[in-house]
Chains A and B, each alone.
Chain A
Amino acid sequence: MSAASEARAHPPLRTVRAGGVSFRLNLRTLGLVGLAAAALFALAAWSLTLGSFPIPLEGVLRAVLGRGSEDHEFIVRTLRLPRLLSALMVGAALAMSGAIFQGLVRNPLVSPDIIGINQGATLVAVFWIVTGQGRTTLAPVAFAGAVAAALAVYLLSWRGGVAPNRLVLVGIGLNAALAAGTTYLLVRFPIEQVGAAVAWSAGSVYASTWSDVTTLGAALAILTPAAMVLMWHLRILQFGDDTATSLGLPVEATRLTLVLVGCGFSAIAVGLAGPIGFVALMVPHVARMLAGAMTASVLVLTALLGAIMLLASDVVGQYFLPVTLPVGVITAVVGAPYFLFLLYRSNVRL
């Protein structure tokens, strides 16, 4: 992406001073954020009109505001809105988690999917399903699995500090061990239970409830501001540990906070929706191609793009295929060709 970034060597920056606070705004990024937000809003509104009982756009807007007919309100507010909001927030969480991990490890191929976090959730959830435990406890249990895996990766790669490369290798190791455990469960148990487990591990926002939405919303409300602040530290960290230390940054503490926030995003998403691949890997790349190096505002763009991608995939999987497919299957099918095209066309900055 060097050519594109050279074109952006002098971005339209504007310095804002208000009282004791001053910061610089990148107008181009701001414009992109506005565009993405508008696109997301339009997509969300349109997706609410779709379904086996189509509702015109006007009816949808009325129902959302609580002024529609009773039928419309039930369909929109009880059935479609929770799923829509879950999809948006899961997408945003996954995308931000990917951005944090890729920055932390300075390796573009890293996403929480490959360092064991998703597999931790999957192993525990598959065990929960094939042994016939209760469905209501599935989400918290999967969340616990993701957190435990993240913790194990962090502790196992600690050796007087956490070198990013070690973190990835240890993560891949743990990922493989956990995946083997999952495979074992899948060949060991009868096919009826296994089918349900495979369906969960495809990743889906089907059957989201308002309580899921509340959980996700609360988690994002805490983690997103933290992540935006941390982007500044992350950029210093990317100069290398020595430079960062000499600039006065507590390197290990920063890294731990970043890992915690990144894992938090990914664990909450995978706990509620299953291991949806590809979003965390791909969306940060797209955001960086559009807007340049990862800053707090580019992180917001990343979150919006993640939400768009997940919502669009869910809409496609739900309504535009001969068979209904879970969103986790679609994210790859929708995203991969686009990403491959980008890869073919541009010199991706990596």
Chain B
Amino acid sequence: MVASAIPVTTDASRWRLARATVLLLLVGALAVTTLLSLRIGALGLSTSDTVAALFQYDPDSYEQTVVRSLRLPRTLIGLGAGAALAVSGAVMQAATRNPLAGPSILGVSSGASFAVVSAIYFLGISTPSGYVWFAFVGAAAASLLVYGIASAGRGGATPVKLALSGVIVSALLASWSTALLLLDQETLDRARFWSAGSLAGRPLDIFWTVSPFLVLGLAGALLMSRQLNVMSMGEDTAKALGLHTGRVRLVSALLVVMMTGAAVAAAGPIGFVGLAVPHIVRVVSGPDYRWVLAYCLVVGPTLLLGADIMGRLVVRPAELQVGIITAFCGAPFLIVIARRRRVAGL
């Protein structure tokens, strides 16, 4: 390339190489975390048993059965949910140009929670598999309502209107959930464990139910990264550059609904991954969304599985719900980042 003779371009390509190298290292970290997630738990396993359970499954081995029936579903759901939450957080932050945006800005968690609480209260449903579709539909309905209200008035779905209607609808749904929980203690008893957010005790078919949405959403988000780059320059600039900003926001919202709906349906409302991971990632990846999304795709699952592993270790042989751990660990991270960098520049 002729341009490579110019020093600036050399810097740029070196920068690109550095980012690619770090990404590769992070993929390695993800692989290690996945293996650990299959190995570690109330029953300690050897690496050889774990690997054997995956590739040369022996149904008579108790250890291998544990891996197959308990650890594998949990790990897969963790991988999917982590990637979906982190990527959709980044997409929301770009599309709304609000550094505080996360999947919850569309009311996803509260919509899913409300649907699940209603399912328990009115229909007496009590298994994670029974919750899946309620959670998904609740999440999707809430976010469509949020988006519909935000885009109905004058000026369309501007970032601030979107955020405002999200906050309001969330508050509304959360208080309805609270009302149902106060009316019936049994509902509260069941719902409190679901709404802590956990990867444990989910059968593998939950993962298969939600995986089409995960795959579609993630693929769509990665394809959108260029548009998101333009979006993040600001509404006016994006329009001047010929981007149909309303359409991009709508598509981003639909992708986010698919991803977070699937994640919350499988694992319950896990906060903070969607908000924090993009911020953490940007320290290394820079503001380019092609890199931000790729990093989120890798770092999100690593952190979620890491948090889940930590939850299995801290109060052994009992477990802490992963949603509790992500918040406990993510919060200091966010505080450190908020103190270190300017959080503008989205």
Contact A344/B153 with A108-B160, A278-B171 known, Cβ cut-off 8 Å: yes
Q: How far is the CA of A325 from the CA of B334 in the complex (A)?
A: 36
Given contacts A108-B164, A173-B338, A198-B178, contact A165 B331 (CB under 8 A): no
Is the CB–CB distance between B196 and A187 below 8 Å? yes
Can you name 22 A-B residue pairings with CB atoms under 8 Å?
A170-B335, A170-B338, A176-B271, A176-B327, A176-B331, A177-B327, A180-B331, A181-B328, A183-B196, A183-B321, A198-B188, A199-B182, A202-B175, A202-B182, A325-B179, A329-B178, A329-B179, A332-B172, A340-B168, A346-B153, A346-B154, A350-B164
Chain A, interface size category, equals 35 or more
Do A333 and B175 have beta carbons less than 8 Å apart? yes
Which of A168, A339, A340 is packed against the most chain B CB atoms within 10 Å?
A: A340
The 7 closest A-B pairs by CB, nearest first: A180-B327, A169-B338, A177-B331, A332-B175, A336-B172, A173-B334, A173-B331
Q: Mark B181-203, 1 if CB is under 8 A from A, else 0.
A: 11101001100110110000000
Known contacts being A180-B323, A187-B196, A325-B182, is A333 close to B339, with CB within 8 Å? no
Task: Provide the bound-state CA to CA distance between A281 and B167, in Å.
Answer: 9
A169 B172 Cβ-Cβ under 8 A: no
**Chain A residue with the shortest CB-CB distance to B183:** A323
Smallest distance from the beta carbon of B24 to chain A beta carbons, Å? Answer: 30
A328 interface residue per 8 A CB criterion: yes
Q: With an 8 A cutoff between CB atoms, is A27 at the interface? A: no
Closest residue of chain B to A166 (Cβ to Cβ) is: B338
Interface status of A240 (Cβ within 8 A of chain B): no
Contact check, A166 vs B100: say whether CB atoms are below 8 A apart: no
Closest to B146 in A: A340
Q: Are A109 and B153 in contact (CB under 8 A)?
A: no
The answer to whether A343 touches B344 (Cβ under 8 A) is: no
Contact partner of B332 among A165, A177, A195, CB < 8 A? A177
Q: How far is the CB of B235 from chain A (nearest CB, A)?
A: 14
Contact A333 B196 (CB under 8 A): no
Report Cα–Cα, A346/B163, bound state, in Å. 16
Q: Are B100 and A332 within 8 A (Cβ)?
A: no
Contact check, B172 vs A333: say whether CB atoms are below 8 A apart.
Answer: yes
| Complex: chain B residue closest to A111, CB-CB | B167
- Give every chain A residue within 8 A of B149 (Cβ-Cβ): 340, 343-344
Residues of A within 8 A of B211 (CB): none
Measured between beta carbons, the chain B residues less than 8 angstroms from A35 are none
List CB contacts (< 8 Å) of B242-257 with chain A.
none
In the complex, B5 has a CB within 8 A of chain A:
no
* Cβ contacts B53-92/A at 8 Å (1 or 0 each): 0000000000000000000000000000000000000000
Residue B267 CB within 8 A of the other chain: no
Residues of B287-346 at the interface with A, using a CB-CB cut-off of 8 Å, are 320-321, 323-328, 330-335, 337-339, 343-344
Q: Contacts A184-B320, A191-B188 given; indicate if A336 touches B168 (C-beta within 8 A).
A: yes
Query: Which of A108, A183, A329 contacts B175 (CB under 8 A)?
Result: A329
A116 to chain B, nearest CB (A): 10
Q: Does B123 contact A (CB under 8 A)?
A: no
* 5 extra interface residue pairs, beta carbon distance < 8 Å, beyond A109-B163, A184-B324: A169-B343, A195-B185, A281-B171, A328-B178, A348-B160
**Do B175 and A277 touch across chains, with their CB atoms under 8 A apart?**
yes
1/0 contact string of B106-135 vs chain A (CB within 8 Å)? 000000000000000000000000000000
Question: Does B147 count as interface, using CB distance less than 8 angstroms?
Answer: no
* Interface of B: prevailing SS: helix
Q: How long is the Cα–Cα vector from A350 to B165 in the complex, in angstroms?
A: 13
Q: Judge if A144 is at the interface, Cβ distance under 8 Å.
A: no
Q: Quick check: is B275 within 8 A (CB to CB) of the other chain?
A: yes
Contact between A177 and B338 (Cβ–Cβ < 8 Å)? no
A343-B153 in contact (CB<8A): yes
CB proximity of B108 to chain A, nearest CB, Å: 16
**Is A186 an interface position by the 8 A CB rule?**
yes
Closest to A180 in B: B327
Complex: A340 Cα to B152 Cα, angstroms? 11
* In the complex, B44 has a CB within 8 A of chain A: no
Q: Which of A177, A199, A325, A337 has the most CB of B within 10 A?
A: A177
CB nearest to B155 among chain A residues: A347
A-contact bits for B227-267, CB 8 A (1 contact / 0 none): 00000000000000000000000000000000000000000
A187 to B315: give the CA distance in the assembly, Å: 14
A37 interface hit (Cβ, 8 Å): no
Asked whether any CB of chain B lies closer than 8 Å to the CB of A135, the reply is no
With A170-B339, A176-B331 as known contacts, state yes or no: A344 contacts B272, CB within 8 Å. Answer: no
- Give the Cβ gap from A340 to chain B, nearest Cβ, in Å: 5
User: Nearest B residue to A116 by beta-carbon distance?
Assistant: B331
A173 adjacent to B155 (CB under 8 Å) = no
Report if B161 contacts A (CB, 8 A): yes
Question: Provided the pairs A166-B338, A184-B324, A198-B188 are in contact, do residues A173 and B182 lie with their beta carbons within 8 angstroms?
Answer: no
Query: Within 8 Å of chain B (Cβ to Cβ): is A146?
Result: no
Kindly state the separation between the CA atoms of A267 and B343 in the bound complex, as whole angstroms: 28
Residue in B154, B333, B338 with the greatest tally of chain A CB atoms within 10 Å: B338
- CB contacts under 8 Å to B, within A96-150, are 108-109
Measured between alpha carbons, how far is A115 from B173 in the docked complex, in Å? 20
A182 to chain B minimum Cβ distance, whole angstroms, is 10
Any chain B CB within 8 A of the CB of A179?
Answer: yes
Instruction: Tell me how far the C-beta of B335 lies from the nearest C-beta in chain A, rounded to whole angstroms.
Output: 4
Q: A166-B339, A194-B188, A347-B153 known; A187 and B334 CB under 8 Å?
A: no
How far is B328's CA from A179's CA once the two chains are assembled, in angstroms? Answer: 9
Q: Is A157 at the interface (CB under 8 A from chain B)?
A: yes
A32 adjacent to chain B (CB < 8 Å): no
A199 to B181, CA, bound (A): 9
User: Complex formed: what's the CA distance from A340 to B166 in Å?
Assistant: 10
- Asked whether A165 lies within 8 Å of B344 as measured between CB atoms, the reply is yes
Residues of A contacting B152 in the complex (Cβ-Cβ under 8 angstroms): 344
CB of B220 within 8 A of chain A? no
Q: Say whether, besides A159-B339, A347-B154, A183 and B324 are in contact (CB < 8 Å).
A: yes
| Cβ of A91 under 8 Å from chain B | no
Expressed in whole angstroms, the minimum distance between the Cβ of B136 and any Cβ of chain A is 22
A330, chain B: closest CB distance, angstroms: 8
Name the one of A157, A179, A194 contacting B338, with C-beta atoms under 8 angstroms.
Answer: A157
Q: How far is the CA of A198 from the CA of B277 in the complex (A)?
A: 30
Q: Which residues of A contact B343 (CB under 8 A)?
A: 165-166, 169
Contact between chains at A180 and B183 (CB < 8 Å): no
Min Cβ gap B162→A in Å is 10
